[in-house]
Structure 1
Amino acid sequence: MGTHVIKMPDIGEGIAEVELSQWHVKVGDLVVEDQVLADVMTDKAMVDIPSPVHGKVIALGGQPGEVMAVGSVLISIEVEGAGNLKESAAPAPVKATPEAPKVETVDESKPAAVPRPAAVCQGPMVAREADERPLASPAVRKHALDLGIQLRLVRGSGPAGRVLHEDLEAYLAQGQANASAPVAAAYAQRNDEEQIQVIGMRRKIAQRMQDATQRAAHFSYVEEIDVTAIEELRAHLNDKHGASRGKLTLLPFLVRALVVALRDFPQMNARYDDEAQVITRLGAVHVGVATQSDVGLMVPVVRHAEARSLWDSAAEISRLASAARNGKASRDELSGSTITLTSLGALGGIVSTPVLNLPEVAIVGVNKIVERPMVVKGQVVIRKMMNLSSSFDHRVVDGMDAALFIQAIRGLIEQPATLFVE
């Protein structure tokens, strides 16, 4: 038997150190070539580190949350034969979950994501040690808590045995949880505590949010918009072309409104380098679309929105959102935005105060659509209304300009034909 020692690979882009976010193996595990060993977090993305060999894990080089230098020992694997006793770098890492809040066009020249081997499900219940923490996203943990399920008893079918929502449903369906458990749990006394280490994606989100609020002089502006006409147009286009071109949501219309409004307000489509004291206005409109995933907020970028049709924008938004939620968005797909659009859809509330995606100077927040009685030409009618809650960097954007910019978007949305008048 021999030992194959794998060093932390060079991720590229001049990165000298990375944060070890999560191990997918432990000492004693048997691994196969291309199996994902660990996730590491750079300033730009979460990256999968695959194994270059078959063998048995005999030593781990760090703990989750630890910052490791490129070239340091990541893991040691026992292999058959003499093995590769010389320390080697892991094979090319695979981008997994990118940076937040910067939630991704696909570069076909880059390696595709390596699929993680799924756990073989041999029934809904699995024995774990009482102190063993099963792999699961925060959303799955909350779902299990709401259902009164002990997560350690559920066999995970996801990568590295991760427990998924469907595993919880399978557990219930096979009679391993009492149907009355949610009710019983709601009235039972609770004294348990859970400490969650802020590492990986959550640490990056916290750092970026803190940095944005400390460095930029945020101010917000809220405007009410009548979206009845554009919703009627959207429904008409979906009825006529939805089957052949795909369904349209409101987002591609908002992207189009941004593109048109920015022609008169180029100062909003800009980045501010506060250290160099330089504002860079850009002709290209690269719209970041904030997307929520199990690991946190990500901002994939619809590049050159100014050159896209409604359906082209819709398809790209859908593709990028799916890639971000599935952890498949590339680093390039999550960087380079010039202005950001953020929406929580039906959960968007009435008003919000979005945080700027530095170094951008403007973010447009979309709130939920509600039907309300409105006075139109002296008559009370039911209209579909929506607020835009937007934030700006007051260091470089004046309040009057911000108000005029949002009013321009309002005019375009309320008179949707003007979106397409050149």
Structure 2
Amino acid sequence: MGEYVIKLPDVGEGVAEAELVEWHVKIGDLVREDAVLAAVMTDKATVEIPSPVDGEILWLGAEIGDTVAIGSPIVRLKVAGEGNVTAGAKSPEAVPTPTPGPSPQGGGESASTAKVDTKPAMGSSKKASSGKVEPAMATASPSPLWGGARGGGAAPLTGAPRAEGEKPLASPAVRLRAKEAGIDLRQVAGSGPAGRISHEDLDAFLARGPQLVRPTGLVPRDGVEDIKVIGLRRKIAEKMALAKSRIPHITYVEEIDVTALEELRATLNKEKRTDRPKLTLLPFLMRAMVKAIADQPNLNALFDDEAGVIHQHEGIHIGIAAQTPTGLVVPVVKHAEARDLWDCAAEVNRLAEAAKSGTASREELSGSTITITSLGAMGGVATTPVINYPEVAIVGVNKMMVRPLWDGTQFIPRKMMNLSSSFDHRVIDGWDAAVFVQRIKALMETPAMIFVD
């Protein structure tokens, strides 16, 4: 028998290190060649690390959330034959290894061509009664984000009233005192172990009067769940902190009458052509943004604040902020300036499906020059979107509502929607921000203008 050391392979993308976000195995597991051992994250893509050989897991070299350098040993296997470790070689010092979930069945790819997907794992750790924090591993069947019972489970009911026939816990002296005072101990909340009633509990009961304690079904909960911030959630936290700490935001909110646009959209969707996808509001907004950026190209830019350089792009690459089961990602519609309404819609649909299924590539999740964020029906009346650093502008879509609008003689119902847009005030003045939004407003309120070159 021999030992085989698996090192973190070069996962490409020019990275020197990666974050360990998931173990699929534990010490003592028997693994087959190509079985997935672990998953590491680089930027917003997760790379699965397969086993190149059959063997038994002897050692795991990192914990969930650790940053591991490319080329560092991460797994040691006991294998048939000589393995790849010379006799007498010093084994690396073992690190505390949590007990992971069950090893998934199924293969992976070789270490040099690790499979890339965008399903990051969330690690968590929960305080045990001893106070020691044990990391909890993600299993092969991921649970919903932030899932499971919160607050450490239900606390035992330590108060009255008690069930009929249930004997309250109390010392003989307490029972005698209660009997003399005419107190039914079943109606007294006990503060001692297992609800034991003390003299102080009797005093408190007498102080508030002899009213019965009514059952509410509500119990106090004192548990605390510690959730380690790793993977995609860590990337989101870092990106948001960077954007808010370095970009002085200015947010401009304007209402738009989208009644005519919605009528046009409904008419176009009635045609139901197989070569055209169903239209939502987003493709119209994207085309309006393309026209507005043609007049104000400084909005389609990235600001390198360290070098003091604004990179103004000719190609308009619109990021579409998308909520997925594992967190927020931003797939990018490349070259929106070269796409018509239906092409924009088809690409948005394709990218949204890839993001939700976790199959979007790194290229599809990077390279945006301006971003749209929308919460759909949950969009609220107004929002304050955070700019997708290092971009200089983001357009936020709020929910659509029917509101009365005065036309000069009467109030008429109109479909209204707010746009909440944020700008980097270091490079975009308030006037320029207002001109940009007003141009979008004019195009969306007269949607025929979107089709005029």
After TM superposition, the score normalised by the length of structure 2 is: 0.73
Secondary structure class of the residue paired with 1:369:
strand
Higher mean Cα deviation, 407-416 or 30-39? Answer: 30-39
**CA pair 243-187 structure 1, distance change in 2 beyond 3 A:** farther
- 1:213 CA displacement: 0.8
Q: Could you tell me which residue of structure 1 aligns to residue 31 of structure 2? A: 31
Is 2:123 the partner of 1:92? no
Secondary structure class of the residue paired with 1:276:
coil
Greater gyration radius: 2
Contact 2:20/2:67 (<8 A) preserved: yes
Letter in 2 for 1:349: G
Contact 1:7/1:90 (<8 A) preserved: no
Letter in 1 for 2:117: A
Contact 1:27/1:57 (<8 A) preserved: yes
**CA pair 186-353 structure 1, distance change in 2 beyond 3 A:** farther
Letter in 2 for 1:28: G
Q: Distance in 2 between matches of 1:306 and 1:149?
A: 54
Q: Distance in 2 between matches of 1:188 and 1:267?
A: 57
How far does the alpha carbon of each residue in 1:36-81 deviate from its partner, in whole angstroms, 9 at most, with x for none?
Answer: 2212122353222222233322211100111111110011223334
Is 2:76 the partner of 1:76? yes
Contact 2:17/2:67 (<8 A) preserved: yes
Q: Could you tell me which residue of structure 2 aligns to residue 248 of structure 1? A: 279
Letter in 1 for 2:353: S
Q: Could you tell me which residue of structure 1 aligns to residue 129 of structure 2? A: none
Letter in 1 for 2:315: A
- 1:190 CA displacement: 2.9
Runs of 5+ unmatched residues, structure 2: 90-109, 121-133, 155-214
Runs of 5+ unmatched residues, structure 1: 100-129, 151-183
**CA pair 138-348 structure 1, distance change in 2 beyond 3 A:** farther
Is 2:332 the partner of 1:290? no
Secondary structure class of the residue paired with 2:75:
strand
Contact 1:345/1:368 (<8 A) preserved: yes
Q: Distance in 2 between matches of 1:363 and 1:198?
A: 26
Is 2:232 the partner of 1:201? yes
Q: Distance in 2 between matches of 1:226 and 1:185?
A: 49
Q: Could you tell me which residue of structure 1 aligns to residue 363 of structure 2? A: 332
Quote the RMSD (CA, aligned, Å). Answer: 2.7
Higher mean Cα deviation, 205-214 or 70-79? Answer: 70-79
Q: Distance in 2 between matches of 1:293 and 1:56?
A: 35
Secondary structure class of the residue paired with 2:4:
strand
Q: Could you tell me which residue of structure 1 aligns to residue 438 of structure 2? A: 407
Q: Distance in 1 between matches of 2:250 and 2:225?
A: 36
Secondary structure class of the residue paired with 2:226:
coil
Equivalent position to 1:386, from 417, 425, 429: 417
- 1:246 CA displacement: 2.0
Is 2:13 the partner of 1:13? yes
- 1:141 CA displacement: 4.7
**CA pair 33-242 structure 1, distance change in 2 beyond 3 A:** farther
Q: Could you tell me which residue of structure 1 aligns to residue 22 of structure 2? A: 22
- 1:228 CA displacement: 1.0
Contact 2:4/2:78 (<8 A) preserved: yes
**CA pair 94-71 structure 1, distance change in 2 beyond 3 A:** same
Contact 2:64/2:137 (<8 A) preserved: no
State the identity %: 55
**CA pair 213-407 structure 1, distance change in 2 beyond 3 A:** same
Contact 1:242/1:248 (<8 A) preserved: no
Q: Distance in 1 between matches of 2:84 and 2:8?
A: 16
Q: Distance in 1 between matches of 2:46 and 2:217?
A: 36
Letter in 1 for 2:23: W
Secondary structure class of the residue paired with 2:239:
helix
Q: Distance in 1 between matches of 2:312 and 2:291?
A: 16
Secondary structure class of the residue paired with 2:34:
coil
Larger RCO (CA within 8 A; separation ≥ 6): 1
Q: How many residues align?
A: 356
Q: Could you tell me which residue of structure 1 aligns to residue 159 of structure 2? A: none
Q: Could you tell me which residue of structure 2 aligns to residue 4 of structure 1? A: 4
Letter in 1 for 2:115: V
Contact 2:44/2:235 (<8 A) preserved: no
Q: Could you tell me which residue of structure 2 aligns to residue 115 of structure 1? A: none
Q: Distance in 1 between matches of 2:255 and 2:142?
A: 36
**CA pair 299-185 structure 1, distance change in 2 beyond 3 A:** farther
Matches within 5 A, 1:17-416: 17-85=17-85, 90-97=111-118, 135=139, 139=144, 141-142=146-147, 145=149, 187-241=218-272, 243-416=274-447
- 1:145 CA displacement: 4.4
- 1:139 CA displacement: 3.5
- 1:137 CA displacement: 5.5
How far does the alpha carbon of each residue in 1:335-368 deviate from its partner, in whole angstroms, 9 at most, with x for none?
Answer: 1110000101111111111111111100000011
Secondary structure class of the residue paired with 1:367:
strand
Q: Distance in 2 between matches of 1:14 and 1:186?
A: 57
Contact 1:46/1:96 (<8 A) preserved: yes
**CA pair 134-249 structure 1, distance change in 2 beyond 3 A:** same
**CA pair 134-266 structure 1, distance change in 2 beyond 3 A:** closer
Q: Distance in 2 between matches of 1:69 and 1:303?
A: 32
Q: Distance in 2 between matches of 1:138 and 1:352?
A: 30
Q: Could you tell me which residue of structure 2 aligns to residue 175 of structure 1? A: none
**CA pair 250-34 structure 1, distance change in 2 beyond 3 A:** farther
How far does the alpha carbon of each residue in 1:162-211 deviate from its partner, in whole angstroms, 9 at most, with x for none?
Answer: xxxxxxxxxxxxxxxxxxxxxx9984543332110112211111111111
How far does the alpha carbon of each residue in 1:206-255 deviate from its partner, in whole angstroms, 9 at most, with x for none?
Answer: 11111111111111000001111111111111111355422111111111
Contact 1:46/1:201 (<8 A) preserved: no
